[in-house]
Amino acid sequence: MIGAPAVAAARLTVYSVAVTATTRIDLPTSAALGAAVAVVTCLRNHGFSAYFVGGCVRDALLGLTPKDYDIATSARPRQVCAVFADVVQVGISFGVVRVRQPCDSGEVVEIEVATFRADGRYSDGRRPDSVRFADAQQDVLRRDFTINGLLLDPCGPAKGEIHDWVGGLADLRDRQLRAIGDPLKRFGEDALRLLRAPRFAARFGLQVHADTAAAIRRLAPTLAQVSVERITAELTAMVIAPTAPAALDLLVDLNLCTQLWPQLLAADPHLTAAKLRLVRARTELERPIARNHWPVSTALTLPLVLALLADDLRNWPDSAEFTRSWRLSRQDLAAVRQLIALVATCPLEPTPLERAPLLPPWPAPVARWLRQPLADAALIAVISRPGGHRWLQWRQARADWPHENAFPDLGFDGLTVQRWGYAPGPAFARALRAAEDVRLSGGSGEQAEAAARSVLQAAARAS
Ligand code: ATP
Ligand code: MG
């Protein structure tokens, strides 16, 4: 039997589950917990049974604060809708609704309430053809891994008690990730579970049980049945987490990487170089940047991770193919492309260190590169390459660089240039750019104006 480590000690003992003489655990107090307990109490007051289930129970056992609470109940979806005033009907045919419950703070939290169910046949490797409402035990047996198949009683006389029909408590204690029931059957039902396995194993430092691992390796090709959207959601959670290097190891070890990123494996067979870049990028992000005039990333964002992973494909036509294998938002896709381009054109990289000026004014091409919004992320990617630590100080130097120096006020614009007697034309933009180059590289306002006038005069002479 397992009890959670004291919450205060959770940070130190996060992945070790203490063995105690009781199946009861205390949940860390939070507004979301209060709201979820209120939902269970209300369902029970109406004569239904209801428990916490899945990730929240697992997290609490690991001494982590659950990010949300899912509830499983004997009440049918229509009955849940009748009990609560504010319900969002997200997947009523699968027995799932979301109850919008106010917390003590007045904030409203959405709590997923799912009717106990058993899944019918899976004929497409994605979702059951039908579901049938069932009891609590059948409900946990349809779930993916034993660590996700635990129920917890959150209130009443059995408060804190765990119901374990799948051996999840022992697996958590032994740090095993194991499919519930026959692994070949479970992965055959929904191939997305193949990817959920490395995600949970990496996140909680678990060993994938031998039978479960063998089934994943065997069924890895069936990942092709899963939609790019679902794959992207799982992979995103994996690669932006601090445990991404462990997840990449598992993706390689479980043969999943050959299905997902054949082009990356061809360039870096065990993803060793990619992992190193991820580790260095995270270390770099955690380095404090003082006196900052520019927003600096504090988390590994998906575009940065993809640029770090695709780095070995820089000169390959496959880098576009790699990017396309993810279903990215338009914004993320633009950011990945821009980052890959920025890294490829980084003006610092080919420069011998002694000739790269650390402090502004920088040569105009360096300044133009550094003032782009994604330059900080691009610098992190450059720094994460072998030998890239030489450029560490440029992140701080960019952070110290005031915006008004990065976007200097020229003191004149197109209208002024017309007043100088020049007709509008393509030379205007070139003249303003020449003036800005002068200001960026440390020249005075007069020198900038002279540079603009000389471009305009040359253009006027040529026409
Ligand atoms: P996380 O903290 O990442 O959200 P979670 O365990 O809560 O972890 P969810 O995807 O939110 O994961 O799913 C909630 C629960 O539903 C899981 O714990 C598991 O019991 C069940 N579940 C989710 N997806 C599947 C699936 N594809 N196959 C079987 N069971 C699943
Ligand atoms: Mg969840």
Residues near 381 by beta carbon (within 8 Å), at least 6 away in sequence: 277, 281, 304, 307, 308, 311, 339, 343
pTM of the complete model beyond 0.85: yes
Instruction: Please tell me the distance between residue 56's alpha carbon and the centre of ligand 1 in angstroms.
Output: 10
| Residue 358 CA to ligand 1 centre (angstroms) | 49
pLDDT band, residue 318 (cuts 50/70/90): low
Paired strand residues for 347? none
Which of 14, 65, 70 has the most ligand 1 atoms within 8 A of CB, as the residue to mutate? 70
Instruction: Say if ligand 1 is within 6 A of residue 66 CB.
Output: no
Instruction: Give the tens place of pLDDT for each residue, 76-98.
Output: 999 999 999 999 998 888 899 99
Match 């034993």 to its residue by tokens.
Answer: 146
Nearest in space to 177 (alpha carbons), one of 211, 149, 209, 148: 209
Whole-number mean pLDDT of the chain? 89
For residue 238, pLDDT over 60 is answered with yes
Place 349 in a pLDDT band, splitting at 50, 70 and 90.
low
Read off the pLDDT of residues 251-282 as tens digits, 9 standing for 90 and up.
Answer: 999 999 999 999 889 889 999 999 999 999 99
Q: How far is the CA of 294 from the centre of ligand 1 (A)?
A: 38
Q: State pLDDT tens for residues 19-59.
A: 343 468 888 888 899 999 999 999 999 999 999 999 999 99
Summarised one tens digit per residue, pLDDT across range 188-234 is 999 999 999 999 999 999 999 999 999 999 999 999 999 999 999 99
Instruction: Kindly indicate the confidence band of residue 16, based on its pLDDT and cuts at 50, 70 and 90.
Output: very low
Q: Which ligand is nearest to the CA of 127?
A: 1
- Weakest-pLDDT range from 239-248, 288-297, 430-439: 288-297
Residue 103 phi/psi, 5-degree rounding, is -90, 175
Among 94, 138, 143, 234, say which to mutate for ligand 1: greatest number of ligand atoms within 8 Å of CB: 143
Task: Give me the DSSP letters along 320-355.
Answer: HHHHHTS---HHHHHHHHHHHHHHHT-SSTTS-GGG
Distance from residue 347's CA to the centre of ligand 1 (Å): 45
Helical H runs in 345-413? 364-370, 375-383, 392-400, 403-406
Q: Alpha-carbon distance 424 to 417, whole Å?
A: 8
CATH topology of domain 175-260: Hydrophobic Seed Protein (1.10.110)
Q: Which ligand is nearest to the CA of 179?
A: 1
All residues at 6 or more sequence positions from 261 whose CB lies less than 8 Å from its CB, including other chains: 309, 322, 325
Nearest CA to ligand 1 atom 26: 144
Written out in words, the top-level CATH class of the domain with range 1-174 is alpha beta
Q: Which atom of ligand 1 is nearest to the CA of 66?
A: 2
Q: Alpha-carbon distance 115 to 95, whole Å?
A: 5
Pocket of ligand 1 contains residue 144 by CB under 6 Å: yes
Whether 55 lines ligand 1, by a CB cut-off of 6 Å, is: yes
Predicted pLDDT of residue 346: 85
pLDDT digits (tens, 9 = 90+) for 424-439: 999 999 999 999 999 9
Nearest Cα residue to atom 5 of ligand 1: 55
For residue 353, pLDDT over 70 is answered with no
- Bridge-partner residues for 117, per DSSP? 133
pLDDT of 351 reads 63
- Residue 316: the pLDDT is 57
Closest CA to 308 of 384, 367, 390: 384
Res 391: pLDDT: 85
Q: How far apart are CA 195 and CA 220, in angstroms?
A: 9
pLDDT at residue 11 in the model: 29
Ligand nearest to the CA of 145: 1
Span from the CA of 191 to the centroid of ligand 2 (angstroms): 18
Instruction: Give the number of whichever ligand sits closest to the CA of residue 66.
Output: 1
Q: How far is the CA of 388 from the centre of ligand 2 (A)?
A: 38
Question: Is the CB of residue 147 less than 8 Å from the CB of residue 172?
Answer: yes
One-letter amino acid identity for 382?
Answer: V
- pLDDT, residue 215, reads 98
* Full DSSP string of 9-57: GTTTSTT-PEE-S-SB-PPPP-HHHHHHHHHHHHHHHTT--EEEETHHH
Q: Whose CA is nearest to atom 7 of ligand 1?
A: 55
Query: Residue 30 carries which side chain, given as an amino acid letter?
Result: S
| 219 Cα: distance to centroid of ligand 2 (angstroms) | 25
Cα(28) to centroid(ligand 2), Å? 17
* 54 C-beta closer than 6 A to ligand 1: yes
From the CB of 190, is ligand 1 less than 6 Å away?
Answer: yes
Backbone angles phi and psi of 440, in degrees to 5 = -60, -40
